[in-house]
Amino acid sequence: GIIKHNTDGSLVHRRLRLPSACVSGGVNLWSILSANIGKDLSKVAMPVQLNEPVNTLQRLCEEMEYCHLLDTAAQTQDPHMRMVYIAAFAVSMYACTFTRAGKKPFNPVLGETYECEHPDKGFRFISEQVSHHPPVSACHCESKNFTLWQDVRWRNKFWGKSMEIVPMGTTHIVLPCFGDHYEMNRVTSCIHNILSGQRWIEHYGEMTIKNNATAEDTIICKVTFLKSKARSLNTNDVEAVVTDSEGHVIHSLFGKWNEALYLGDPPLAICIWRTNPMPEDYEQYYGFTQFTVELNELNESMKSFLPPTDTRFRPDQRLLEEGDIAGAEEQKERIESVQRERRRILQESNMTHTPRFFKWSEDDSWISNGTYWQLREDPGFRNLEFPVLW
Ligand code: PIF
């Protein structure tokens, strides 16, 4: 591993790989899917072998890997160029999915939380599972240069050979130094060859990025994720145009969401963003990037600060990470029944669940209630009560 400095000057260990490689084989997805035809798949408990050792709360944090683009945007005077960096960031959010078509993330239990302080990237991030059916994960990320929040809600459509994931919800990015407030939608993701052959993932559709701060002088960026005709043809291409308030094209961009994004026209185009190199042996380790490998690491020094609801304490995900499939499956089933029991008690007393760190806002999104980091410091999560999730 490597040793890095925390914001408070303390040292933190960062591992370079997961404790165990992915154990392959063993699940017959076809028998699961055919037994549940017509059902909402999010209501079917899947075998743990289908999972990778990160959950959807951590997946949201993965999307921050290239947040230096937001820092650059916050240092760019020209509003059209600022939009270029925001668009590059929006495309970069999909990069990590390229090597990840084989497995699905863990579905967090209701009330599960995750935090990530990233001193070298200058942000701190929190997320919480705010709804179980349908599954909704909300997050909030802040640094001196930007604030980002979003929640992930989706519908899936199973087409036999492939599965489409249609996302809902809006991603918000605020740059306080300019008063910018960008809003963008997500595009559709599709997992091909879900039952046989090589699984691969594709993203397609149009994303519109708008800066809400400037109502009458709107700069818009339209990002198109192109659908490929065949696996090898123009795969993963994206195109984007930034237009001014009169609709004139000011900038155009092209590239691939799994590789790089360029500004201008070839051969004079300049590279705005490129993916980081993958770690050695990444195929054996769930296709994780170095950034992802670190997300579920549990350091001794963190244990006293984290709330007991933090994903790092979730036993089934930890056991899967360590390569113990049988143990992970046993724990997954146990945790699911604990959750059902909590739900039953709530229903019997005619109560509904209230998220701890997020609240529903009028503008149709989950936003932070602003208490997490404050409570973490004083009185500290050790001195607060939490439900027993596992
Ligand atoms: C369980 O979740 P799983 C079910 O929700 C189950 O209904 C519930 O019991 P309850 C359990 O408590 C849950 O643990 C099912 C479903 C959940 C996600 C979100 O983890 C990520 O067993 C999906 O899984 C993104 O999964 C996919 O949702 C991107 O995990 C790749 O619907 C799915 C995914 C479909 C499988 C795709 C396979 C691709 C390789 O009694 O409370 O209802």
In a domain? residue 248? yes
Q: What three-state secondary structure class fits 291?
A: helix
Q: What is the mean pLDDT of the chain?
A: 93
**pLDDT band, very low/low/confident/very high, at 8 (cuts 50, 70, 90):** low
Q: In angstroms, what is the span from residue 106 Cα to ligand 1's centroid? A: 7
**ipTM of this model?**
0.94
Q: In angstroms, what is the span from residue 9 Cα to ligand 1's centroid? A: 39
Which of the 8 DSSP states describes residue 42? G
pLDDT at res. 9: 67
Q: In angstroms, what is the span from residue 354 Cα to ligand 1's centroid? A: 21
pLDDT tens by residue, 145-201: 999 999 999 888 777 788 899 999 999 999 999 999 999 999 999 999 888 778 899
* Whole-number Å distance between alpha carbons of 344 and 337: 10
In a domain? residue 180? yes
Q: In angstroms, what is the span from residue 41 Cα to ligand 1's centroid? A: 7
Ligand 1: atom nearest CA of 41 is 32
The CATH number given to whatever domain includes residue 246 is: 2.40.160.120
- Please count the structural domains in the chain: 1
- Residue with the nearest Cα to atom 4 of ligand 1? 45
C-alpha separations of 205 from 190, 202, 218 in Å: 11, 10, 22
Least confident of 7-21, 57-71, 292-306, 315-329: 7-21
Q: 177 lies in which domain range?
A: 2-303
Ligand 1: atom nearest CA of 44 is 7
Residue 350 structure tokens = 């005619």
- Residue with the nearest Cα to atom 18 of ligand 1? 107
Percent of the chain with pLDDT over 70: 96
In a domain? residue 351? no
- Residue with the nearest Cα to atom 13 of ligand 1? 45
| pLDDT reading at 356 higher than 70 | yes
What residues does ligand 1 touch, defined as CB less than 6 Å away?
41-46, 50, 56, 103-105, 107, 135, 156, 165, 191, 336, 339-340
Q: In angstroms, what is the span from residue 167 Cα to ligand 1's centroid? A: 15
Ligand 1: atom nearest CA of 47 is 22
* Whole-number Å distance between alpha carbons of 52 and 50: 7
Smallest CA-to-CA distance from 261 within 287, 208, 223 is with 223
In a domain? residue 316? no
In a domain? residue 230? yes
pLDDT at res. 156: 81
pLDDT tens by residue, 112-135: 999 999 988 999 999 999 999 999
Ligand 1: atom nearest CA of 104 is 31
Whether residue 17 contacts residue 322, with contact meaning beta carbons closer than 8 Å, is answered with no
Paired residues of 158 in beta bridges: 163
Percent of the chain with pLDDT over 90: 79
Q: In angstroms, what is the span from residue 110 Cα to ligand 1's centroid? A: 13
Q: In angstroms, what is the span from residue 322 Cα to ligand 1's centroid? A: 21
Least confident of 69-73, 161-165, 317-321: 161-165
| pLDDT reading at 379 higher than 90 | yes
- Residue with the nearest Cα to atom 12 of ligand 1? 336
Ligand 1, residues 34, 42, 112, 347: which to mutate, most atoms within 8 A of Cβ? 42
- Residue with the nearest Cα to atom 43 of ligand 1? 43
Q: In angstroms, what is the span from residue 260 Cα to ligand 1's centroid? A: 32
Ligand 1: atom nearest CA of 201 is 31
In a domain? residue 211? yes
In a domain? residue 369? no
pLDDT at res. 3: 78
Whether residue 221 contacts residue 83, with contact meaning beta carbons closer than 8 Å, is answered with yes
Q: In angstroms, what is the span from residue 53 Cα to ligand 1's centroid? A: 14
| pLDDT reading at 11 higher than 80 | no
* Whole-number Å distance between alpha carbons of 313 and 106: 13
Whether residue 148 contacts residue 172, with contact meaning beta carbons closer than 8 Å, is answered with yes
Least confident of 22-31, 41-50, 179-188: 22-31
* Whole-number Å distance between alpha carbons of 121 and 211: 24
Judge if the upstream peptide bond of residue 176 is cis by omega within 30 degrees of 0: no
In a domain? residue 359? no
* Whole-number Å distance between alpha carbons of 152 and 51: 18
pLDDT tens by residue, 222-249: 999 999 877 666 689 999 999 998 999 9
- Residue with the nearest Cα to atom 25 of ligand 1? 104
Lookup result for tokens 């769930």:
286
Other Cβ atoms within 10 Å of 95 Cβ, number: 23
- Bridge-based pairing state of the strands 188-192 and 171-175: unpaired
* Whole-number Å distance between alpha carbons of 2 and 13: 6
* Whole-number Å distance between alpha carbons of 310 and 116: 10
Lookup result for tokens 């993701």:
189
Q: In angstroms, what is the span from residue 85 Cα to ligand 1's centroid? A: 34
- Residue with the nearest Cα to atom 17 of ligand 1? 42
